[in-house]
Structure 1
């Protein structure tokens, strides 16, 4: 599961409601964004207890990201935040895991990355995505990248841009030669992820199941499917399900949840990009 919890959740009481939403989904792996207050060790320990999960919070310039997991399902092998506080606007939190109880040994760990790409420029976000693709493959090629991607994915229909705030149009749309031209979303972030041979989980299942509802927006104000999960080739055969998680009034983004059967991972497709 991935959830942008919306800045200030610890101050206005929304965090407790989000904990209930998360515990109802009961994910083995949780990707969080906008959790800056969890850099405080005491607050982080309280979050671990509330969620019933282990937790790592990445360093960041602002609005930190985090990864949480069930220790009885996933064994932490390492943490990757090498470029989080220096090269990305909101950073990323990468954790390497050994999944427990599988029928065969893996040649590489499962890499899980929680990120929040810059909302202010699609072009800058595309450069961040290039770095994150490399981190997803870095430890053996069995990786997933999820979080608030903030920009239009490939294949989704154009929203009614006239209903979207001017600052979001300026950040997320292609440049226009004339103000009378229609707005069109800039999809370069999706192109980077596709060119990195990563699969957009919601889009893949929408086509496979002929169910366009899987492409519904996750940003309540921006009207785009900004919250996304992308997986490397070994994980594609393991993909079973995807759905939005409604946080009610507790956040301004829908959460997303994904089901993977890790016994179906194509281990022959694992490869290291050092």
Structure 2
């Protein structure tokens, strides 16, 4: 078996308030072999992290963070994580976790490790989030260039349709739109983050499949209150041919939908490897 299912979920700050049990049920129903989590502040307690991993039936790592930490969880029966890199986590508002997955199990046929980054970019500035995206782009290409970034990107993509910004809270408009010369000018998305990821030759998984299948519904919003598809997967050129499916997961346990990407690792393009270690 070479099919890898990856789920990303912003659990909403403070999921230790009792919502975690419901989220665990959602994750177990999806059945990912790799899980990327954001806003897992309560899991900085080692005992709670251990209990969370046991509830998921997965190994769990919580990254250091100046604010709201991210985490990576994986099924050890199918994936072997060689290392989790957080070298520049203090340079990002929420930090990151880059898991290096060995060519073993589901990934057995890969010519290099798979790097999976759990990300949560700063929501307060598109310009600063673009700098964070540049850092993560460098991290995901390490160890051969088979990689993905997944998580709460927090900002407009490079290609999604414009939303009605008048329905968005003023401070989110200020963070995610272009500057206006006059108060009456229309609000326009600041796409610097999506463009930065695209300029790093990363493929927006949902947009890729939406275009491939002529299915605009794949671009649906994932933030329940902002109207944006903020939860995203971005794949390196070597991994892009392996993209086979994407979907959202609706539930009532957080203010974000879950997102799921499916990759057939037998389709990885070994000619697109890079050595940036």
TM range (shorter): over 0.9
Shift, 1:38, TM fit: 1.0
SS in 2 for 1:154: coil
Shift of 1:39: 1.4
Matched-pair contact (CA < 8 Å) for 2:119–2:152: yes
Q: Which runs of 5+ in 1 are unaligned?
A: none
The change in CA–CA distance for 1:118 and 1:157 in structure 2 (over 3 A counts) is same
Shift of 1:99: 4.3
CA–CA distance in 2 between the matches of 1:219 and 1:181?
25
Match of 2:15 among 9, 18, 24: 9
CA contact (8 A) 2:11 2:39 kept: yes
Asked whether the equivalents of residues 65 and 90 of structure 1 are also in contact (C-alpha less than 8 Å), the reply is yes
Conservation of the 8 A alpha-carbon contact between 1:102 and 1:263: no
After superposition, the Cα gap between the structure-2 partners of 1:238 and 1:73, relative to the gap in structure 1 and judged at 3 Å, is same
Question: C-alpha separation between the residues in 2 aligned to 1:246 and 1:117?
Answer: 22
Work out the CA distance in 2 between the residues paired with 1:150 and 1:101: 33
CA distance in 2, matches of 1:221, 1:128: 24
> Aligned equivalents of 1:10 and 1:37: distance in 2?
6
Q: Does 1:265 align with 2:264?
A: no
Deviation at 1:265, TM superposition (A): 0.7
How far 1:188 sits from its partner (Å)? 0.4
Change (3 A) 1:255 1:176: same
Q: Which residue of 1 aligns with 2:125?
A: 121
Work out whether residues 80 and 105 of structure 2, in 8 Å CA contact, stay in contact via their aligned partners in 1: no
1:168 corresponds to which of 154, 164, 172: 172
Q: CA deviation at 1:225?
A: 0.2
Instruction: Quote how far apart the aligned CAs of 1:181 are.
Output: 0.4
CA distance in 1, matches of 2:107, 2:133: 33
| Other structure's SS at 2:144 match | coil
Number of matched residues?
A: 271
What secondary structure is seen at the aligned counterpart in 2 of 1:147? strand
Structure 1 equivalent of residue 101 of structure 2: 97
Structure 2 residue ranges without an equivalent (≥5): 1-6
Alignment of 1:11-30 (within 5 A): 11=17, 13-30=18-35
Give the Cα–Cα distance (whole angstroms) in 1 for the partners of residues 167 and 107 of structure 2: 50
219, 224, 231: which one aligns with 2:228: 224
Kept after mapping to 2: 8 A contact 1:72/1:100: no
Displacement over 6 Å in runs of 4+? none
TM-score by length of 2: 0.96
CA RMSD in angstroms, aligned pairs only:
1.1
TM-score by length of 1: 0.97
Q: Could you tell me whether the CA contact under 8 Å between 2:103 and 2:109 is conserved in 1?
A: no
2:3 matched to which residue of 1?
none
Cα distance in 1, alignment partners of residues 219 and 10 from structure 2: 18
